[in-house]
Amino acid sequence: MSHTSFTNAPSPAENQLPIGIDLGTTYSVVAYVDPTGRPTTVLNQSGDLLTPSAVGFEDGQVIVGKEAVKGSVLEPDAFADCFKRDMGRGRFRRQVGGHEVPPEVLNGFLLERLKQDAERRLGPIRRVVITVPAFFDETRRKATQEAGKLAGLEVLDIINEPTAAAVAFGYHQATLRGPNAPAADGERVLVYDLGGGTFDVSILEVQGRSFRTLATDGDVQLGGKDFDERLVGHLASRFLEAHGVDPRGDARDAAQLWLDAQDAKHALSERTKTTVVMFHAGVRMRLDITRAEFEELTRDLLERTQSTTAQVVKQAQLDWPQIDRVLLVGGSTRMPMVGEMLKKLAGREPDRSQSADEVVAHGAALYAAMLLGEKGDAGQPKFELVNVNSHSLGVVGLDPRTRQKVNVVLIPKNTPLPHNKVKRFQTARSNQDSVKVAVVEGESQRPEYCIALGECVVRDLPSGLPAGTPVEVEYVYAANGTLTVRARVTNARQSAAVEIHRPGARELGDLDVWRRRLCGSAIPIAAPSAQPSAGAPPADRSAVLREIDELFLRMGQALLERKLASAWERGQQAALAAAEELRSAEHEAELLEAARRSAASASEAARCDVPLAQARRTVREIQTRLRFAQLALGRECARSGFAPADLKREEGLIKKLEAQLQDG
């Protein structure tokens, strides 16, 4: 779902240039609109246009960008990239340096670096527009806003990447025509956006400064990274065939292999053949790979984008001759096979007039200029952006024939916003005392495969209502993404209304707290050994936080096997499940270690290396997850004022240490 906010636009009193940020999966870009109205990319501290969307932790500091990528070869476990894909995925956390880190925090560190780089050249920055894939749902959009908040930014709005690209394209075309030229006729532009980790395709009608989205679709789990992965797998398989060992079994060699595969992919966009040199287990291997081989390895990935593109044209109720222009966006569109495929589909050469890397950030900056009240040439109107919802909204109903629950779509995907829809249902049985309207988001007819957004309940219905009593349901979907649901039982003259709020951003705290936690120690929680002292204050706040975490951990471990009130059963069950999972993983690792020791030959033993390394990594990950589950259980019980008599000492120490933090 996508939206555009036009109300409460900030006053231009703050002396800040309009800033747009393309927060990419593999690379990010910052742009601004200069005093003449021209969008310009901001060079980062290294003098580059693009900043790798990567974060590492080294020597007590957070490393972002190119240096983080370089460091991934030396410390792969303290490195994270491609975390944009994880945004909005419930309580998902990435393992980095022995810690479980939410993707919003990793994006927060990235945005903080982008902000600092821009401020070195432009002065203080606070208000920005950030782009997201058009296929992002509202939960992922809110997570992106939370990342901006963590970085000290005020996110004026979220704009879809294809829409931003179309805005920049429209500006470019207007510039070519000149200020006094008559407005051009409208164009239907298909934006094919294949980035490092996500894929979007949208069709927009562009006329002057009016941008109307006709249809959009995409895949937030498909991008250049998946093409890299195919090449990594191919190279590793060739090495394994030749030498009996998989280079991915060593974390450092695997990280280097990823970098080499990316370089090879880039090289194959320029020439038809390249060479990769792999090194693992004391063996060096040189391997040639051709563009034709690479294209065959990734053919199905390209076909997925082709299928989605053709589907969007169909959803827009258009034929290819009615598409005036195919605009390429995203670094992965440099692969020659992308242009060749689109040329066959559209019957014309794709448009490469815009910088595939910079166009999205430029469009975001132009949109920021509008929100901040800036204008280009005098008298030019502001942008008009009309988006569509990228996911269908429905009601969970009961099929009268099968008596199975079904998703009844009220507002189909690609419906222009704002929009409202009324549909009549009926009660399922006689004498119902309430009616529940369950709201879901998704395309499947089966509600369990959709996302539950909330419910609207009409309560206290009078007795005696027959089965089949009419129930009127109305969805009011605003341009800013707000959904209001109303339900009316007309025979009873009773109704209810609710504003649906998607799962909100998590309470993530402060970025500085995360920095201290992640950089203070490579181990997330100290082992419960010596009793911490609550006497003299520790040397720094991070030490205090570690002591507090250790106390919470000890409480959680002590509470694990006890009978707890229902309020804490969920946390206890999560910890117990992790403990059981750990026992199973440790047993699997022991079996693999035994198999390696009993191997009849060195080659046979080497073949155990990869699964054994994976098993050990799994054990470490589950150990960390178990500790966090135990810590969360202890913290939840302590915060609720519950502590058995034998844990009162820990509870008292926690209070004293927290008081030290407040005093300090």
The residues annotated with a catalytic role in the active site are: 22, 84, 161, 193
CA 255 and chain centroid, separation: 22
Q: CA-to-CA distance for 279 and 277, rounded, in angstroms?
A: 7
The tokens 């302590």 sit on which residue?
Answer: 638
Which helix H or strand E contains 295, and what residues bound it? Answer: helix 291-297
Three-state DSSP state, 96: strand
Q: CA-to-CA distance for 423 and 442, rounded, in angstroms?
A: 18
Residue type present at position 640? S
Q: Is the dihedral of CA 345, 348, 349, 353 positive or negative?
A: negative
Q: Is the dihedral of CA 137, 142, 147, 152 positive or negative?
A: positive
Encoded tokens for 233: 């797998």
Which of 212, 165, 168 is closest to 186 using CA atoms?
Answer: 212
Residue type present at position 610? V
Query: Residue 158: beta bridge partners?
Result: 130
Nearest 10 degrees: Cα torsion 486, 489, 490, 492 = -130
Q: What are phi and psi of 68, to 5 degrees?
A: -65, -40
How would you classify the pairing of strands 154-160 and 127-132?
parallel
Residue type present at position 173? Q
Interhelix angle 569-597/609-639, nearest 10 degrees: 160
Q: CA-to-CA distance for 77 and 97, rounded, in angstroms?
A: 5
Q: Is the peptide bond before 418 cis (omega within 30 degrees of 0)?
A: yes
Other Cβ atoms less than 10 A from the Cβ of 287: the count is 16
Query: Residue 159: beta bridge partners?
Result: 131
Task: Write the secondary structure of 146-178 as one string of H (helix), E (strand) and C (coil).
Answer: HHHHHCCCEEEEEEEHHHHHHHHHHHHHHHHHC
Q: CA-to-CA distance for 147 and 584, rounded, in angstroms?
A: 36
The answer to whether 183 and 321 are in contact (CB under 8 A) is no
Query: Residue 62: beta bridge partners?
Result: 57
Q: CA-to-CA distance for 187 and 405, rounded, in angstroms?
A: 43
DSSP summary character for residue 460: -
Q: CA-to-CA distance for 168 and 174, rounded, in angstroms?
A: 10
Q: What are phi and psi of 95, to 5 degrees?
A: -80, 115
Strand order in the sheet with 470-477: 419-426, 470-477, 483-489, 494-500
R_g over Cα of the chain: 28
DSSP summary character for residue 246: -
Task: Write the secondary structure of 253-270 as one string of H (helix), E (strand) and C (coil).
Answer: HHHHHHHHHHHHHHHHHH
Encoded tokens for 109: 């560190």
Task: Write the secondary structure of 326-348 as one string of H (helix), E (strand) and C (coil).
Answer: EEEECHHHHCHHHHHHHHHHHCC
Q: CA-to-CA distance for 460 and 108, rounded, in angstroms?
A: 46
The tokens 């995907």 sit on which residue?
Answer: 413
